[in-house]
Structure 1
Amino acid sequence: MSSRVTRPSRQRDYHRFSPDSPIVIDNGSSCFRIGWAGETEPRLSFRNVVQRPRHKASGETVTIVGDYDPSLMKYFDCTRSSFRSAFDNNVVYQFEVMEYVLDYGFERLGAGGSEVNHPILMTECVCNPVASRSKMAELLFETYGVPSVAFGIDAAFSYKYNQHLGICNDDGLAICTGLTTSHVIPFVHGEPVVEACCRTNVGGQNITEYLKQLLSLKYPLHTNSITLEKAEDLKKEHCYIAADYCSELKLFQRETKEAEEKTRCWQLPFVPPPQEEPPSEEELARKAALRERQAQRLREMAAAKRLSKIADLEADLNALENLMSQLDAAEEDEIPAILYQRGYASREEIESAASKAAQSLRKVKGEPVDAEEKAEVSLEEKYYLVNVPDNMLTPEQMKEKKKQIFLKTTYEGRMRAKQRKFEEELQRERQNQLEEERRLENPELYLEQLRTRYKELSEKVEQRKRPKTNGSHTNGNGSVGRGERLNAAQRERMRLLTTAALDRGKGEDTFGAREEDWQLYKLMSRDNDDDDDNERDEEEAELARVASKLQEIDPTFVATTDGGALQGAAAAPQPTTSRSRWRGAVPLPGGSLPAGHDRRGPGGAGRDGRRLAPPALGGGGGPRGLCRSILLTGGGCLVPGMGRRLEADVRKIRPFLSAINVVTAADPVLDAWRGAAACAASSGFPQQVFTREDYLEKGEDWLRRYRMSYIL
């Protein structure tokens, strides 16, 4: 699809044509073409698809037929809608979609109302089902009120038009390649032999999809950029059909100069980042003033918070001092009740809290702190109940003692972890310093050692990720047994457990009957999986560290999971259409297996059509009356090399040096409409139409026997 699409304008001369002038419609699965009989060009041509998105502002559903203008689609939500086609492999089956297309075609042609008072000549595929033809006739008669309808084969119109131009003979084959299907029709004395036609569901769309698959598999980093639209453009610009697939493959395998000349490179769409202009002096001054205002506001908030904290600390300190004065004035037997009421265990705890509050207050005010006060309280003073015997403590003090024991244990563990972390950091710094000295002493040797170390670690990590099996044996039902899932250490522990059980029971398995047996089981069945996990984590961390070092030293290094390294330039290559230029078009001439289809291309169908054709045309493989003329038509035959490849394939089944002429239509895309327009303008066309009276009287049975005579 082009980046800029022009919508067809509405025709102004519709009322100048008499009601006897037929309207010619080439109803293809790819494009819809409509115009007047006797003209050489269709008035309108657009994609035969319909899309129904919603307007983002109003939410109203709109109908878009054919191509759309990308500049207007920004106002619509297309995420929940997609293009819909009325065709299924070149046969119309979605007539509600077909009605949208016909409405748009007639409206653009100039028909203002719903009535179309002109005869209609519409193309269809060969051997179109009667149900589809009758539904189309019903749609034209009932919805648009047309007076008469005629149906003809698109490939037959193209063949007759090229026969009129002298390109092909009266007897021959017409190979029509469309969007999704290809048809092969024999012609005898200028008339199609429908009984001998062949059909295959391979067309231009299959080439596009197959080319997209090839490029996506070759360049997985650019899968989102290689869309169907991009693949369609590449097919039209670069693809060709090789005369001999195997010879072309060997040519590219040898990497000759001819293969290099046939290679095409294309650049992915790239949008450079916008370059920011340096700010002006006024802008810099404005930002500086804004930052100053923000800093002043933060300073004011910090000052207010500091004043609030000072007030809270002073209140706490006054409360503690009042409590100390109250304890000094109280009797000895009243002190425990006062302490219990205030939530303290002893007088020392209150003094410690008061000292901390005074120290925090001086620190907030910015006053110097004495060295004695700055020193932390010792653990014995902080956790004073830990060493006191239980019989000397009250129940409340026992609870406090348990709490202090827990806090002291946690604190000591935290200090040990902090010391261990500090030692590890010192060790890491010493190791980094040694590595830096080695790198400066011999950079090349250091880089080679790093690469070797990275390869060894990556192999170990990859080895650990593999399944822990000792073979591919099964347990009889197709699944791996428990013994195969256990590693070597686990199997050794199972063996020791079994040996201990048999020794304990003297030949009988009585292990577990006593309590101490389970202690032995717990001791021997202790798994080393935690150790394995720790070792694996350490190896992965070391691997990440070595990879980071390599990336700092070698900019072209790219870490991989298989222990190797890719160069940065090769990690994200720009796509090339070298072998894909001719591999993508393989399904069209005759090969179907590369594209995953169970049908052959039109070339193979052409050989079948020749065998099914009458003997006068060279059918059945007989030597007399050989087919000498093969016409290629349809948009799919525009791929370069189609005629040469087809001629090479057909010659393989023809007698030696027999005459054959493979030609391409004058205009493979428009010749079907031009032939239909010339046929509709002939004097014998009114005798070949199916009128509204015939439809009301004869119905579908007449359409079953209907066959058009192609007379230009």
Structure 2
Amino acid sequence: MDGAASNHASSSSPSRTNTVYIPEGGYDAQPQPAYDYHSLDGTDPVICIDNGAHSWRAGFNNSTTPYIDRPNLIARYKDRKQGKNLLLFGRDTEVDANSRSNVRQMFDGDLLIHSDLLECALDYTFCTLGIDTPTVENPIVMTERLANPLFSRAMTSELLFELYNAPAVTFGIDSLFAFSRQKHEDGLAISLGHQASTVIPVLGGRGILSRAKRIPWGGAQASELMLKLAQLKYPSFPLKVTPAQATFMLRETCYFSTDYEEELKEMADPVKLSAATKIVQFPYTAPEVNEKTEAELAAAAEKRKEQGRRLQEMQAKQRAEKLAVKIAELDEYKLLQSERSTMKKAEFMSRLLETTPFENEAEMDSWIKKTEVEIRKKQRKDMGFEEEPEEEPVFPLVDRPDSELTEEEIKEKRRQRLMKAGWEARVRAREEKRKEKERMEEEKRKEEEERETNLTGWSAKLKEEHEAIIASIQARKKRRAQLGDRKSAASQSRMKSIANLAAEEKTSKKRKKGEDDDGFGMDDSDWAVYREIGGDDESEAEEDDQTALQSIESRLLQYDPTFNEEMTLIGRAEAKNKLINAFVRGGIPASQKYDPDDLELHHQLHLNVERIRVPETWFQPSMWGIDSAGLGEVSGWVLNGLEEEERRRLMQCIFLTGGAANIPNLIPRMRNTLTPMLPFRAPLKIVTSLDGGDPRLEAWKGMSEWSKTHEARSARVTRAEYEEFGGEWLKEHRWGNVPP
């Protein structure tokens, strides 16, 4: 994994103590064995093959570990470029797109059904082990599943005897071979396999298959669950996560929780959720970036500042030019206004119409007065002075009768009447605003008195109002969300209201004979139906609620010591966002913000709850729709179904094997689950590998050691026996399936 990690760009990476790197695709390059596969005593060593649903392990029994340990995957295809038929096995199948698209397995679940793929795996095995003779001269010991069907065994025997001319073959159950390494004659062999988990009691050094149980949940289902949870959590992840990568995440990040429910409750705290997060870093290719020097960055920053200053100067210059044009225009019209007394009325009107856009003298006077006010405001604003108070306007023509006025003055009188009405409306609005301010001050004074005399009651009343407003805001948001879904009850109710209102609306349209369309929607008045059920009132109510909520929260924060920031609406939302952020990006340090443009962060999965949720399925398969009891419950049932003395003996060696036995905390979790089911204070011993090694290899090591015994020699099915009794013939031994 360290070699794969070096291919990741991590120039800006935080501490990687909680980071797991997905290894990049590689090859299982294995040299040919350097030893002779013939024993010194003249007999041929036994070839031991552990044919698992996930891994294929093979080697001679004079070795301590299997020489071949690869994923049980086969890719057989024709390379068009080379014109050759290729056979790839294990991780070699990831060499290119053609090999990956042709990957197959010999198993359907944990049932061996594809003889052609088994033949490919055996060809690879015998060639890799250095067997260069036309036939295989070594006896073979091979694992099989619990209660293996006869046709699977017959298919395997036929291949070994007919195709390879093997001298003898022996089959045995993988978990019992692993248990054979233990020094106990009695115990419980529990295998956490790839496609299924099995529980087999062992009494007197023999597996009691009539009491064995099988759970249809294994590492393959757990890996698929991990993959689905990751896809659900990160729907826009840039890479396609493969099942092999999901299995890697399961084995490298997950652990069994000793108290699942309690630990799940603790993860509701964002801090603990972040602490439990493991970052899974996927490989990516960082683009080449030409980094600028500090001098170049400083020059660019100074250039941006200079551009900003120039833009401000240009805007100020444009404002000054516009103001100067306005002043010049005002001076021109004021000059014309001053010359009015020296001209005749007809001459003045003629010049007014020729040189100005105004139609009469009153419009020019109004524009001059208005423009003077605007210019003074802009000049005072530029100098930083406050605005001048609005002067009360004069309307001299409003009170004069129309009989005393000319036609032009009557028009001006109408304009002044409108201006006076607007002025009076503004005065009334200011007065109402002043009265409202006085009323608010009076209410504030009364509230202060109540707060000083009865702080608890005052706070309780405001908190009730606070909760009511929050409930109203949330109900409004929920309704909007429901209206977005046309199948929701709220949306259906709204459509019914529209239909009812449309039916009640009377239109002036006359339907033509034989015409189905009633013309609804042709007139603007028809759309009043939609205005009647519009959301204008809701938007105004939402603004009022937000204003009232801010006022209440500010007062409670100021005077109520029991009310803090976390109780506010924003505080509640932030708490929820913190939990969501911890769930999705919990592994990122607080000092580093998530940058969606950062390729390294974009290629990360953050696993926290999934780390305990996926392994929990071995003990609660019903969580994910499997109609079966869990591993602990089944084991307890098997133990409690025996006599007291037999149960006591089996409890001294609860043996765990299989790939998933490497997941941390399995033994403590198994102990916590079994203890309440068994007699009070009964001794209980749970173990995994005998020498502290990898539980995955226990089955191969057990069959390798057992194959050297006299019992193994007597349990061999020879070629003569195969030819006489057929491929379904099986000799019974302690660690094998019961013969039919």
Given the two structures, how large is their TM-score scaled by the length of structure 1?
Answer: 0.58
Q: Which of residues 674, 690, 694 in structure 1 aligns to 2:701?
A: 674
Q: Does 1:272 align with 2:296?
A: no
Deviation at residue 211 of structure 1 after TM alignment:
2.0
The code of the aligned residue for 1:89 comes to G
Q: Does 1:709 align with 2:739?
A: no
Deviation at residue 239 of structure 1 after TM alignment:
1.2
Greater Cα shift, 201-210 or 656-665: 201-210
1:595-674 alignment, distance < 5 Å: 595-613=624-642, 616-618=645-647, 627-666=651-690, 667=693, 668-674=695-701
The code of the aligned residue for 1:709 comes to R
- In the other structure, the counterpart of 1:77 is 98
**Number of equivalences:** 469
Q: Does 1:177 align with 2:192?
A: yes
Cα deviation, 1:618-658, whole Å, max 9, x if unaligned, reads: 2xxxxx66633201111111100111101111111111111
Cα deviation, 1:498-525, whole Å, max 9, x if unaligned, reads: x999xxxxxxxxx97xx6x679975557
| Alpha-carbon distance between aligned partners in 1 of 2:487 and 2:137, rounded to the nearest angstrom | 80
Q: Does 1:119 align with 2:139?
A: yes
| Alpha-carbon distance between aligned partners in 2 of 1:463 and 1:260, rounded to the nearest angstrom | 33
- Give the direction of change, closer, same or farther, for the CA distance of 1:611–1:468 in structure 2 (3 Å limit): closer
Cα deviation, 1:432-470, whole Å, max 9, x if unaligned, reads: xxxxx9xxxxxxxxxxxxxxxxx9x99999787553999
Q: Does 1:467 align with 2:489?
A: no
| Alpha-carbon distance between aligned partners in 1 of 2:139 and 2:710, rounded to the nearest angstrom | 14
| Alpha-carbon distance between aligned partners in 2 of 1:250 and 1:460, rounded to the nearest angstrom | 30
- Structure 2: which 5+ runs fail to align? 1-21, 293-380, 382-473, 536-576, 586-592
- SS of the residue 1:636 aligns to: helix
The code of the aligned residue for 2:33 comes to Q
1:244-393 alignment, distance < 5 Å: 244-255=259-270, 260-275=274-289
Cα deviation, 1:517-568, whole Å, max 9, x if unaligned, reads: 6799755574879979x99xxx9xxxxxxxxxxxxxxxxxxxxxxxx9x999
- SS of the residue 1:156 aligns to: helix
The code of the aligned residue for 1:146 comes to A
- In the other structure, the counterpart of 1:317 is none
- In the other structure, the counterpart of 2:615 is 585
- In the other structure, the counterpart of 1:507 is none
- In the other structure, the counterpart of 2:221 is 206
Is the Cα–Cα contact under 8 Å of residues 205 and 734 in structure 2 kept in the other structure?
no
Is the Cα–Cα contact under 8 Å of residues 223 and 243 in structure 2 kept in the other structure?
yes
Is the Cα–Cα contact under 8 Å of residues 202 and 650 in structure 2 kept in the other structure?
no
Deviation at residue 99 of structure 1 after TM alignment:
0.7
- In the other structure, the counterpart of 2:308 is none
The code of the aligned residue for 1:189 comes to G
Deviation at residue 594 of structure 1 after TM alignment:
2.7
Deviation at residue 203 of structure 1 after TM alignment:
1.4
The code of the aligned residue for 1:594 comes to M
- SS of the residue 2:696 aligns to: coil
- In the other structure, the counterpart of 1:238 is 253
Deviation at residue 683 of structure 1 after TM alignment:
3.1
The code of the aligned residue for 2:720 comes to E
- In the other structure, the counterpart of 1:42 is 66
- In the other structure, the counterpart of 2:432 is none
Cα deviation, 1:109-154, whole Å, max 9, x if unaligned, reads: 1122441012111111222122211211111111111111111111
| Alpha-carbon distance between aligned partners in 1 of 2:121 and 2:488, rounded to the nearest angstrom | 63
Q: Identity, % of aligned pairs? A: 26
- In the other structure, the counterpart of 1:90 is 110
- Give the direction of change, closer, same or farther, for the CA distance of 1:160–1:527 in structure 2 (3 Å limit): farther
| Alpha-carbon distance between aligned partners in 2 of 1:123 and 1:459, rounded to the nearest angstrom | 59
- In the other structure, the counterpart of 2:156 is 136
The code of the aligned residue for 1:702 comes to W
- SS of the residue 1:16 aligns to: coil
- In the other structure, the counterpart of 1:9 is 31
Is the Cα–Cα contact under 8 Å of residues 469 and 487 in structure 1 kept in the other structure?
no
Q: Does 1:576 align with 2:606?
A: yes
The code of the aligned residue for 1:708 comes to H
| Alpha-carbon distance between aligned partners in 2 of 1:520 and 1:21, rounded to the nearest angstrom | 92
Deviation at residue 672 of structure 1 after TM alignment:
1.3
- SS of the residue 2:151 aligns to: helix
- In the other structure, the counterpart of 1:151 is 171
Deviation at residue 26 of structure 1 after TM alignment:
1.4
Cα deviation, 1:223-263, whole Å, max 9, x if unaligned, reads: 73544333333322221101111111122224566x65433
- Give the direction of change, closer, same or farther, for the CA distance of 1:181–1:58 in structure 2 (3 Å limit): same
- Give the direction of change, closer, same or farther, for the CA distance of 1:265–1:529 in structure 2 (3 Å limit): farther
- SS of the residue 2:655 aligns to: strand
Alignment RMSD (CA, Å)? 4.3
Deviation at residue 495 of structure 1 after TM alignment:
4.1
Deviation at residue 264 of structure 1 after TM alignment:
2.6
Is the Cα–Cα contact under 8 Å of residues 222 and 617 in structure 2 kept in the other structure?
yes
- SS of the residue 1:242 aligns to: coil
- SS of the residue 1:657 aligns to: coil
- Give the direction of change, closer, same or farther, for the CA distance of 1:184–1:461 in structure 2 (3 Å limit): closer
| Alpha-carbon distance between aligned partners in 2 of 1:526 and 1:458, rounded to the nearest angstrom | 33
| Alpha-carbon distance between aligned partners in 1 of 2:677 and 2:478, rounded to the nearest angstrom | 56
1:374-523 alignment, distance < 5 Å: 465-467=484-486, 488=498, 491-495=500-504, 523=519
| Alpha-carbon distance between aligned partners in 1 of 2:154 and 2:631, rounded to the nearest angstrom | 28
Is the Cα–Cα contact under 8 Å of residues 187 and 649 in structure 2 kept in the other structure?
no
- In the other structure, the counterpart of 1:433 is none
Is the Cα–Cα contact under 8 Å of residues 24 and 677 in structure 1 kept in the other structure?
yes
- Give the direction of change, closer, same or farther, for the CA distance of 1:13–1:218 in structure 2 (3 Å limit): same
1:62-73 alignment, distance < 5 Å: 62-68=86-92, 73=95
- In the other structure, the counterpart of 2:623 is 594
Is the Cα–Cα contact under 8 Å of residues 30 and 47 in structure 1 kept in the other structure?
yes
- SS of the residue 1:68 aligns to: helix
- SS of the residue 1:67 aligns to: helix
The code of the aligned residue for 1:162 comes to Q
| Alpha-carbon distance between aligned partners in 2 of 1:529 and 1:50, rounded to the nearest angstrom | 73
Given the two structures, how large is their TM-score scaled by the length of structure 2?
Answer: 0.56
Q: Which of residues 170, 192, 210 in structure 2 aligns to 1:195?
A: 210
Greater Cα shift, 631-640 or 83-92: 83-92
The code of the aligned residue for 2:216 comes to N
Greater Cα shift, 520-529 or 226-235: 520-529
Is the Cα–Cα contact under 8 Å of residues 255 and 615 in structure 2 kept in the other structure?
yes
Is the Cα–Cα contact under 8 Å of residues 31 and 45 in structure 1 kept in the other structure?
yes
Is the Cα–Cα contact under 8 Å of residues 243 and 644 in structure 1 kept in the other structure?
yes
Is the Cα–Cα contact under 8 Å of residues 175 and 630 in structure 1 kept in the other structure?
yes
| Alpha-carbon distance between aligned partners in 2 of 1:187 and 1:529, rounded to the nearest angstrom | 87
- Give the direction of change, closer, same or farther, for the CA distance of 1:64–1:614 in structure 2 (3 Å limit): farther
| Alpha-carbon distance between aligned partners in 2 of 1:470 and 1:669, rounded to the nearest angstrom | 55
- Give the direction of change, closer, same or farther, for the CA distance of 1:35–1:249 in structure 2 (3 Å limit): same
Is the Cα–Cα contact under 8 Å of residues 254 and 611 in structure 2 kept in the other structure?
yes
- Give the direction of change, closer, same or farther, for the CA distance of 1:528–1:685 in structure 2 (3 Å limit): farther
The code of the aligned residue for 1:467 comes to R
